[in-house]
Amino acid sequence: MSRFRRRWFVIDAENAEEVNEFLDEHPRFLGEYIDRNPHLLDNYVIDNVDEETIQKWLDKVSGPAPTEVLQILRVNYKKETNCVDHHTDKYIHNSLVVRRATTFDLGLVFKNRNYRPAKDDIVLEFTIGSDPTIKNETKIRVPVGDSLQGSKWTCMKINEDEVTKEVTLQVNIPPDAIIGRYKLTVEVATELKDGRQKERKVKPDIVVLFNPFKPADPVYMESSVEREEYVLNDTGRIYVGQWYRIGAKDWLFGQFEEGILDIALKLLREHTNAQKNATKSLKKRASPAYCSRLLSAMVNCNDDNGVLWGRWDGKYEEGVKPTTWSGSVAILKQWNRTKMNPVKYGQCWVFSGLLTTVLRALGIPARSITNFNSAHDTEYNMTIDKFLTEDGESAEGTGDSIWNFHVWNEGFFRRPDLPKGYDGWQAVDATPQEESSGVMQCGPAPIKAIKNGEIYIGSDTNFVFAEVNADRVFWEVNDEGEVTKMVKNDKRHVGRNISTKAVGSDEREDVTLQYKFAEGSEEERVAFERAYAHGRKAPYHDKFVLEDEGNIKIDINPVGDVINGSDVSISVKVTNAKGVDCDATITTVIHTMLNNEERKRLLKRSRGTRKIAAGKDDVESFKFGFGDYGRHLSDENVIRVTTTVRVKETNKLYVDQYDIQIESPQCLELICADELKVREYQPIRFKITNPLKVAMTSAVFSLQGSGISSGKSFEVPSPIEPGETYTSPEMEVRPYRSSRATTILGDFDCNEIWNIKARKRVAVNF
């Protein structure tokens, strides 16, 4: 007998979870078992229950059966406490917004009488999607029980107020729950004298999000300061410019603003996958990897009813210049308001800002990442191939390009779909560049796989690896377009100063070493060779090797500060590092550039043959006034200088390129009080001094801020003359949320100059 008891105890202890699951799935089994074996309950009560408890039981079950079904008056969603506990109190939303992998409280207020557990069975029914069923796990029926189970939808009573007839329930949402909007139906079944009757009431919806605050959720982020930055911060900075002169754009993500959460969920519903098979896509929405990939497709409009139209040719007459945008809210609301017509226009930093917004809105930790000298490898061979004619001019090539900067995103989550070791930050990119599985989408690609050159791990890891670590190779071609020699192989040009906003400050954090090993290290070359071996190698790659790369040095630099509106001076120095004199044909071509590395306008072409003494320099200077370059600049104000040198004695060709960043002048100011009041109208003005030598015409100021009515703009009625300081009339703003530090962003554009920004930090108090 003792052996039997010990064995039963061991089995019970080892299989407690299975027993609980069985009873949850068969709630009537225990009662039927006791009915068949009443002595078990008798023995338990005699040995374990006191008289006071027995009397309470008798009070509940004694008396006649109810004469009417228990009627539901209303549901108390306890938003004030639930939203604080779930870190969702910043959302401006009519529904209760909660996070999975934890519990929330609901109060059921009854109309006609108090709740009698012995007679009344309560079930909470949560449904999601257009055709919910229990079989596909989109209908979840949760009976009120005696305990909670963390891995399942469960519910228990935790309090009852007999005066108000309110029963408080605690509901557990499992960590693998589908995220989205759930319809809540409360069902009460009462045992009456003449049988069992039910009442069902549909109540307001509940929105369930990912939970980076709880370890059971795949998006869990351990550091509280990182959660504050990557989930709860609704403003940020996106880095732009050149690797050697990095600038920043302030961006209002606005993930808590009214309507933004619903738009993020709408994007998931409108994706092509969801339209083809709504149920299958819906079930996959429990996965942050799946959601991030869908959103990377829906933020652009190339394949579906996506949000933003990308344009890089400088022709924006039918929309808005990408540089005008300072936040995501206006773009997302315009898309939604116009019945999913794409918003015109955006470029990489706008796509990234939008993707950060919708990822954070859904609870996925996210950040914008800027890669300087970012490669676009159209052939997936891990090299950016550039072609030069025998005269040193650019020739038609493969379509490979290197953008002066490119911005994508990272989402933070575990990857149970991949081998171990690839959890953490994952690269996702909404800018339409190359199709993935027939759709303009990119990622999620594990950062750890990118660094190691494991381009076969994750989604689109090969493309992102090339963006940060491709080699830039120049080739010489003959008149028939055939490659005749390798001119230059630059292993360090691509992927420099990869940047994101630092946690808790406006400083820049360099994350380059998270994406690649140190340039020049053995590990970096091993990673490159691993990726290169799995790429699509071009046939000419193995035919030529580089010879004598260091005999001629080309050094291109701007002279002094380069400010838009001022003169731009450029120096091109060619050094003969050989021990003998040489005759060199030097060709320098200067263009303004579009952001995708296409040329916009030729400013200067210079070609000449000169003798350069051994160890000496040849220096050529170029100078451009604002009238020469200003009207030819594109969005990010870049001038590219390309110099080639053909040495007569050896017939060898040398090349170098340098992108000059024309910086916007600091001439705009926002004028308002340092402290604003919640729900009170307060004035704000713009002040600008014209830095140009010409008048600024058709000028427009625009304004937006976190927790402040945004989208206000003002058109200046007359030209602003050179050197004139103009102060706008007062514009009223009305903050609707308190904050210790709210960022107000201002933008100024006119026909002659654009991308002029200003910001002001203010406190908003009651």
751 close to 744: Cβ distance less than 8 angstroms: no
Q: Does residue 621 sit in helix, strand or coil?
A: strand
At position 67, the amino acid (one-letter code) is: T
Q: Which residues contact 743 (CB under 8 A, 6 or more apart)?
A: 235, 250, 252, 705, 706, 759, 760, 761
- Is 423 annotated as contributing to ligand binding? no
Residue 736, phi-psi category: left (phi > 0), alpha (psi -120 to 50), beta (remainder)? alpha
Cα 361 to Cα 431: distance, rounded to the nearest angstrom: 19
680 is in an annotated binding site: no
Give residue 525's region: left, alpha or beta (phi > 0; psi -120 to 50).
Answer: alpha
Local structure of residue 129 (DSSP, 8 states): S
Residues 352/239, Cβ–Cβ less than 8 Å: no
Work out the number of other CB atoms within 10 angstroms of the CB of residue 668: 18
Question: Pseudo-torsion of CA 44, 49, 54, 56, nearest 10°?
Answer: -120
247's enclosing H/E stretch is strand 245-252
Exposure on the CB side of residue 567, measured as CA atoms within 13 A: 8
Q: Is 172 annotated as a binding residue?
A: no
Which positions are annotated as active-site residues?
A: 348, 406, 429
Beta strand ranges found along 648-724 (DSSP E): 652-661, 668-671, 675-677, 682-689, 700-705, 708-715
Cβ neighbours for 51, distance < 8 A, ≥ 6 positions apart: none
557 and 568 Cβ atoms separated by less than 8 Å = no
Strand partners, 609: 585
Alpha-carbon span 502 to 353, nearest angstrom: 16
Cα angle for residues 451, 295, 452 (degrees, 5° grid): 5
Element containing residue 571 per DSSP (H, E): strand 568-576
Return the DSSP state at 287: -
Q: How many helices (H) and strands (E) does the chain have?
A: 18, 38
> Is 409 annotated in some ligand binding site?
no
Nearest to 410 by CA among 458, 444, 448: 444
Binding site residues, as ranges? 469, 471, 519, 524
Annotated binding site for Ca(2+): 469, 471, 519, 524
